[in-house]
């Protein structure tokens, strides 16, 4: 009720005579309240000096620690169409189990005996390689035989050349002897003629000497002819020697040319064989690609392309598989301002979606429903959501993570930083300062 009257009730009526007035209107009515305020102030001051753990919070989801343990899709490296399924969604498969079979759709691979025919081509080309080897070997033998025959012919021609040279020497000696005999015959003829003129020799003696002189001159001319013939034989021997060299050089060069041609053809055939073998191996591998197999032990999550006869391109996703054996981890995303405060090996508290938890960020020891984690990797490049990715593994010193936890569920994280008084944390938050930057003891020891 509003006190709008000028008549004060408490001046005319003594309220202390009533029991309620005695309890309210007394001299120590503020005593208990003041005592409460003092006790509250002392407790508040004590609380301000209690330790407070600075934290960096983050949100993320459950993943796996190793990349090969994360859910994956299986693609086909070749285009085709679904021919037959051997599994259904939810089935457990082992590594190497056949998931589905695909059929070929490209015209150049439709021949069912393509691999066998290609193998026959490889064998035929390989046989031609053997023929070329035999031809090269035969030409090599022919070249060796021609070289040996050339050496024999050259030796024979060289012998004839030496014989011609010796014949020339012999004919030259005979020519000199004939010239000497001619000189003697001329001297005897002149002396006999002179003696006949003096009457000391008969005419018959002069005729005999004349006849002998003519015979000696005939022998000289004959010897000169022999010498010229021997010289001609020497020239012919040299010509024959050059002819043999030219003839066999031509034959050997032709044989070598044929051998080089055969070697070139062999190399080309060898290249064709190698190409056919490569094609044959590709066809064999392509036959294996018609069967899509499980890359590791796991469960079939979803058939992305399920219809029989449905076509797809190379690289299209066919089926999703979840590995059976994996180690859980958490990928959390933190603000760029908090990234320098995190270090590999630091302890982190994790709260999973679906598991009730009571979290005191400053007092992690009294939190309930959180699990221990350790930072194992920090991404150096910002993600699409504008934050940095941090990978957490289970803390081996803490209790195990829940068995029913599945990949993909949400998680909240608290990275434990430096311990500071509560008054400092309140002052920091009021001023908008970041948590204290510090270096873990492990990194300090490593630097030393």
Q: At what angle do helices 31-48 and 422-431 cross, to 10 degrees?
A: 80
Domain boundary among 302, 323, 344: 323
Please indicate, yes or no, whether residues 319 and 330 belong to a single structural domain of this protein: no
- The order of strands in the sheet holding 72-75 is 72-75, 317-323, 298-303, 92-93
Please identify every stretch of the chain with a pLDDT value under 70, giving residue numbers as ranges. Answer: 1-16, 20-30, 32, 52-55, 201, 356-369, 416-420, 425, 429, 432-448
Is the domain of 359 the same as that of 430? yes
The verdict on residue 39 lying in a domain is no
Domain that holds residue 221: 114-289
Q: What is the CATH number of the domain that holds 77?
A: 2.40.50.100
Does 186 lie in the same domain as 119? yes
pLDDT tens digits, one per residue of 294-319: 988 888 888 888 778 888 888 888 89
The answer to whether the beta carbons of residues 77 and 292 sit under 8 Å apart is: no
pLDDT for position 1:
47
Same domain, yes or no: 172 and 246: yes
For residue 95, is it within any domain?
yes
Q: 319 lies in a domain?
A: yes
Please check whether residues 94 and 132 belong to one and the same domain. no
pLDDT reported for residue 7: 63
Query: What's the predicted TM-score (pTM) here?
Result: 0.55
Are 246 and 123 within one domain? yes
Q: Does residue 432 lie in a domain region?
A: yes
Q: Are residues 140 and 249 in the same domain?
A: yes
* Token couple for 81: 């169409």
> What angle separates helix 203-289 from helix 114-197, to the nearest 10 degrees?
170
| Count of structural domains within the chain | 3
Alpha-carbon gap, residue 101 to 92, rounded angstroms: 18
pLDDT reported for residue 37? 82
Residues 243 and 263 in one domain: yes
- Asked whether residue 21 is assigned to any structural domain, the reply reads no
């Amino acid at each position: 009720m509003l006190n709008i009257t000028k008549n004060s009730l408490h001046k005319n009526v003594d309220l202390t005579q009533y029991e309620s007035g005695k309890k309210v209107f007394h001299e120590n009515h503020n005593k208990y309240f003041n005592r409460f305020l003092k006790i509250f102030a002392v407790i508040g001051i004590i609380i301000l000096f209690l330790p407070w753990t600075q934290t960096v919070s983050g949100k993320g989801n459950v993943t796996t620690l190793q990349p090969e343990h994360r859910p994956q899709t299986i693609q086909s490296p070749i285009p085709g169409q679904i021919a037959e399924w051997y599994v259904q969604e939810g089935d457990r498969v082992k590594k190497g189990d056949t998931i589905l079979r695909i059929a070929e759709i490209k015209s150049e691979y439709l021949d069912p005996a393509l691999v066998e025919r290609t193998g026959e081509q490889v064998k035929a080309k390989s046989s031609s390689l053997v023929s070329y080897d035999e031809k090269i070997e035969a030409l090599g033998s022919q070249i060796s035989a021609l070289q040996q025959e050339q050496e024999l012919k050259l030796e024979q021609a060289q012998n004839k050349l030496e014989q011609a040279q010796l014949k020339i020497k012999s004919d030259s000696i005979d020519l000199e002897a004939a010239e000497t005999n001619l000189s003697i015959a001329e001297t005897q003829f002149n002396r006999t003629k002179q003696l006949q003129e003096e009457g000391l020799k008969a005419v018959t003696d002069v005729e005999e000497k004349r006849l002998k002189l003519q015979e000696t001159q005939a022998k000289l001319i004959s010897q000169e002819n022999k010498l010229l013939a021997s010289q001609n034989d020497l020239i012919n021997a040299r010509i024959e020697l050059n002819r043999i060299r030219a003839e066999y050089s031509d034959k050997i060069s032709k044989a070598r040319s044929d051998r080089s041609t055969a070697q070139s053809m062999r190399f080309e055939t060898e290249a064709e064989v190698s190409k056919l073998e490569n094609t044959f191996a590709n066809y064999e591998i392509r036959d294996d690609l018609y069967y899509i197999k499980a890359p590791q032990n796991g469960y079939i999550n979803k058939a992305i392309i399920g219809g029989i006869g449905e076509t797809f391109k190379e690289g299209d996703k066919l089926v999703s598989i979840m590995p059976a054996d994996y180690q859980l981890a958490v990928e959390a995303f933190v603000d760029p301002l908090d990234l320098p405060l995190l270090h590999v090996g630091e302890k982190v508290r994790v709260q999973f979606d679906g598991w009730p938890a009571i979290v005191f960020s400053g007092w992690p020891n009294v939190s309930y429903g959180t699990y221990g984690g350790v930072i194992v990797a920090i991404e150096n490049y910002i993600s699409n959501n504008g934050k940095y990715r941090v990978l957490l593994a289970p803390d081996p010193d803490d209790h195990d993570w829940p068995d029913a936890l599945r990949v993909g569920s949400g998680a909240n994280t608290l990275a434990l930083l430096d311990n500071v008084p509560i008054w400092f944390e309140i002052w920091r938050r009021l001023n908008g300062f970041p948590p204290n930057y510090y270096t873990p003891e492990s990194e300090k020891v490593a630097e030393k």
